[in-house]
Amino acid sequence: MSIYATLWGLKFPREGLALPDCDWIRVTAQGVPAHIGAPTPGLGYEDGDPYGAFLPPPLKTDAQGEHEYMRAVVFVTEETTKGTERSPQEYADPLLMLTGEQYATLSFGELHRRLCDALKDEGSQQPLRD
């Protein structure tokens, strides 16, 4: 079972610039629900957060595991591999990772710019995080 929920997928210019005859690549937004890793009694994470090494800190949720925001949103392409030595749930070299609050408050124009910048810099193999 995956900890991610697909939010959307859009095509972006592979090199981050929409030029004539450019190649396109699908970017997918993968949301991590608030209850994943949350220290809420009865939700299965009483022994700790198994995803803390690669996700933003868990959120304090209500008794039903709900929170105003998702824990994280991870942006990947079809070329991004999932599963690392550390965890089968970790994406290796995602394009961008935001907290749920950052994602909810970011304009689409700013998100588009940041994803295009990440695609331009994809060769650096460094995920962009806030």
Digit-coded pLDDT (tens) for 37-79: 998 888 788 889 999 999 999 999 998 999 999 999 999 999 9
The predicted structure's pLDDT at residue 127: 43
pLDDT at residue 118 above 90?
yes
Contact call for residues 125 and 94 (beta carbons, < 8 A) = no
73: its two tokens? 């949103």
97 forms beta bridges with 74, 129
The predicted structure's pLDDT at residue 117: 96
The predicted structure's pLDDT at residue 9: 98
The predicted structure's pLDDT at residue 44: 82
Tell me the backbone φ, ψ of residue 68, rounded to 5 degrees.
-60, -35
